[in-house]
Chain A
Amino acid sequence: MKLRKGKERSQGPLFISGPVILIVLGLVLYPLLMLFLFSLGINLHDPNITGAYYLQALSDIKTMVALKNTLYVAGGVTAAAILLGGGLAWLVARTDIPYKRLIEIIVFLTFTIPSYILAVAWIQLLGRNGFINRLLYEKWQFIAEPLDIYSLEGIILVMALHSFPLVFMALVSALKMNDKTLEMAARLAGAGRIKALFTVTLPLMLPNILSVGLLIFQQTMACFGVAAVIGLPTSNYVLTTRIYSAMSRLDLPSAASTSMILLLCSGVVFCLYNYSLRSKRYINISSQSRKAEPVSLGSWKMPVLISVFLLLSVTTIIPLGSVVATSFLKSWGLSLRFENMTINNYLTIFSGQTIAFRAFFNSITFAFIAATVTAIMGTIISYLSTRTTIKGRKHLEFVATWPVTVPGTVLAVAAVLAWINAPLRIYGTPWILIITYIVACLPFGVRNINGLLQGMDPLLEDAARVSGASWLRTFKDITLPLIAPGIKAGWITAFLLVLREIPISILLYSAGAETIGVLLYSMRSDTGGLETVSAVAVILIVLIVAGNVLIGKFGKPRKEATNDPS
């Protein structure tokens, strides 16, 4: 089932590659290049090229410690998220576990909680006098020392819980498309259920796992919010907190050069990813796809189901419940008693004094545009990268997925540098927000679709060409329906990311173009208090769920024809 090495394909889509390459170079590479120039000290005030900022950053023991912490956290989060998300995805896609839809919805909900809120919820649970610590340590004396959330492991915990839905979404769609006959063949050949999983399913899923793992790794390296909330209290610095520190002392070149270190790490990881896939190209979407013969859990069904829901209650239900509860509190820190409850927080948000209505409207509009552009570009880039022999196609994919390693704040500054001066002046208009959102989301679009395309048998497309379909017709009739789950996952991911995005929003918004991120930030930094912020988050979550239900309802007939074996 291995792809023929170096198989050269008949190429139709070359005509679209030009514009896409230009767009990627313009939107992604150009701002990053401006940042790179700043890291070399090339700017208006001191236009001499210097490596001083790099020397300074690299020779600073603080940077090295932060780099070490960053890699440790990123590795830990990636491993944990893949275990958690992948395990759940397998259970949902391949076994006869009941309540699949409910599990999917709960996992999806996890992703809608803004990371800052999730971190605060976890501090309530695992902080010094958090609920779990009081239970395990003080009451039951189950553990010798109180658990300390303010540690690198704490960052890993919260971030893994925040990113595992990404793994779940990517792998469920891939597992559903996976060639199940192979797994069955292995079973028939005498391999046990578990052995079949490890010897057939897992290796087959490797491109998808690596693809989403790479994404999580890169994204974790760039994450600031959780690292700041959990890491700072006990002075555990990662690179992003160092970058933010440089930003706050208005030392842009240092921030830029430290960001470049992040980008370099990201590049190395990307090369490793490509290298590891080089010799292992498997096909898991083929004619035999979607043979719906779920693995029977047998007598394990109930125990597995119970542990899944226990797990989900820890990852999602409890934090989510705490967000909802907080949103009804009269004041942050009050105990959860009825007399402390109010709906005033919601009323305040829409009291007419705030920008709330406009912010929600703007964010949804921007998210819609950004997600759609992301999905289209992600499809084209993935297609070019996996289905053509155009020179530099892997570089294109790399550049397009690079921004995932850049912290939002830095991305925003790069956008300022790139788009403020004529003739490229779009700074000060809503377009700069949309463009930067697209740049930030593109990696998620590319990664989601790339894994599926890589696992799709190119013979399916060849068969259509030979049957007389033009390249475009083939793409429309065969390729698109088969990678639709990936495109959908990419779109939803991008949409959610934009809705809850904060750092890019607050640096790039202009009067009239306020977003939910701006609202969240201003609520947080002045009178609102955490209870109002939570209320905004709850509204956001409700909107997303409603939207998802609507999409599910209207998108159903189509979905029936393209996937979903159950």
Chain B
Amino acid sequence: MFRILATSFDYRPRLGGVATLAHELLRALGGSHGVEVRLIAPRLPGGEGFDRGSGVATRRVPLPKAALAPVPLAASLGRELLTWRPDALLNLLWLPEGVASLLLAPLRAPLGIPYFVYGHGVELLESDLNLKKRVRSALSPAKRAVFRGARGVFVNSGFTRALVIRECRVPEARVRIAHPGVDPRAFFPEAPARDLLERYELRGKRVFLMVTRLEDYKGVDRAISALRWLKADFPEARLLVCGEGPDRARLESIARHYGVGELVVFAGAVPAGRLRDHYNLAEAFLLLSRSNFEAPNIEGFGIVFVEAAACGKPSIGGDSGGIPDAIGGPENGWLVDPYDDRAVAKAMREVLERPEEARARGEAARARATGELTWDRMAATLLETMRAGRSRGEA
């Protein structure tokens, strides 16, 4: 039995990319033959209720903010190391769990337990824009030490791989791409849900979908402004935006400014259980994230592209960060300049003018997602590396 002690500071019932990835990956790892997984996660409201049906053996511990959490987390991890004797530590973030693993070096070394760390992208960059970010920047040496000290580093995309190598000077051979995946049992094509067609007044409309937290770098603004170039020819085009966030008021103003307010539907936050229904309303999925290395804001991968693909939807993605990896190639969608709303509109126009081509790309995207990008495939990739690392025998 191969034992993995995992930690994820960002975990369900929180929403978002890292929390989703952590849960799905650990569930898949736990379901792998000959593998036992235990997870240490922060105590959160609703956490224990979630854990009961999550399929992951989870221990919740009270933790302060990330920068202060490594020490108490190390204490919890240390107890598990001594009592459970895992074969590997898997850290879903470098802070706090990666640092905790580093602090535990005196304990891990004699026990021969290596640690692995996953890199998502944005957390590898530093910024001095506000106090919180400055504090994180001050921990930069610890970050480099965590990545350099790991037996193996997993990353979500080629873009993030380059970041890890550049920012943390990790030897290339030790960094392995493990694309996040999708659960094909949860995301698959089906007919549009009638209640949603009514609720959003989308009957007879041609829908583009965005699923994203509403933040200024996500490119919802460019999707909105692109509509002005389509409005005259395709008055039935609609942009359905699922998600909430601090940028909503600005986006609504922009929609009014460009005279496309009536073409944009802000759906608000969508419960996880109805996400598939939303993907299935659309002809294409969009996410036009822009990289801002100063803020920093980047899209390390974009699991939503894979979820959309599993539902048979082609994607129009901003050519930045790890999005090219998430889309996979022109056969699955379109990569566009995320600053250029004319380029965005051009891709949207292709979907509208050539729906059969869009459908073909959607089918190719689905074949790739369900074939190459499942959580089981990701778990297998990680397991292969962790087992090999364990067999080398040193911490």
Verify that A and B bind, or say they do not.
Answer: no
Which chain A residues have a beta carbon within 8 Å of chain B's beta carbons?
none
